[in-house]
Amino acid sequence: MFKYKLTIEYDGTNFVGWQRQDNGLSIQQSIEKAIQKLSNEQVTVFGAGRTDAGVHAKGQVAHFEISKEMTIDNIRDGINQYLRPMPIVILNASKVNNNFHARFLAKQRIYQYSIINRRQPLTFQRHLSWVIYKKLDINKIIEAALYFEGNHDFNAFRSVDCQSTSSIKTIDYCSVINDQESIIINVAAKSFLHSQVRIITGTLVNVGEGKIQPSEIKKIIEMKDRDKAGVTAPAHGLYLKKIIY
């Protein structure tokens, strides 16, 4: 068997998420069908991050195995050919050894959340960013973001659907970049709780709105109460940016 690694970009707007489901078309299923058409083999594609419905990716990583060897160009271009016209693209492909696993060997996952802070509704980015009409205090958001870094019990920052047995996670960094009306939040960790980045983002927006003070983040984390944290930011502003191995 030959194993291949894929780096994938996609617009998740009209998909039920990465993982194959019965209630609609998933990213995983779409890629598996494209590979089957290319190779005449039924495969399972394993992804590094299970993005939810509506969530996008700039650098999702996945792997699959087939019984015959193909060139990297044929893998990349062939899958892309059969994915058209869906908004899913294989950016890169490479042959890897049999020990590689896209999910279990990932050392860090970097998620990015895009906010547009302006009074006007969005046009081009309405499915790609979260628009906040009230002027946000970016300095307070930057200050508050630092409280999320490190090893904490993030029980207050996971959804009721989270199936993780432990809510203790380590966030390597939580940084905020502001360029005029654009606010980008980057969060990196080895793994995340369900909706963790979206709840962190919603809480930071509440800070920017003046509803929560930056210093209160530490107390909210310590209280471990979901009701004390902010809103869950909408899925369409979230991107799986990069996987580090």
Please report, for residues 47, 136, 210, 225, 229, the alpha-carbon distance to residue 61 in angstroms, rounded to integers and kept in the order given: 6, 34, 38, 33, 31
Please report, for residues 1, 47, 66, 82, 107, the alpha-carbon distance to residue 69 in angstroms, rounded to integers and kept in the order given: 8, 21, 7, 19, 28
Say if residues 160 and 228 touch (Cβ distance below 8 Å).
no
Which of 11, 22, 52, 225 is an active site residue?
Answer: 52
Say if residues 7 and 61 touch (Cβ distance below 8 Å).
yes
CA dihedral 55, 59, 60, 65 (to 10 degrees): 150
Alpha helices in the chain (DSSP H): 27-39, 72-83, 138-145, 196-208, 216-223
Say if residues 158 and 195 touch (Cβ distance below 8 Å).
yes
User: What residues have CB less than 8 Å from 22, skipping those under 6 apart?
Assistant: none
Whether 227 is catalytic: no
Q: Which two tokens stand for residue 204?
A: 């930071």
Q: Measure the CA–CA gap between 89 and 62, rounded to whole angstroms.
A: 12
By annotation, the residues acting in catalysis are 52
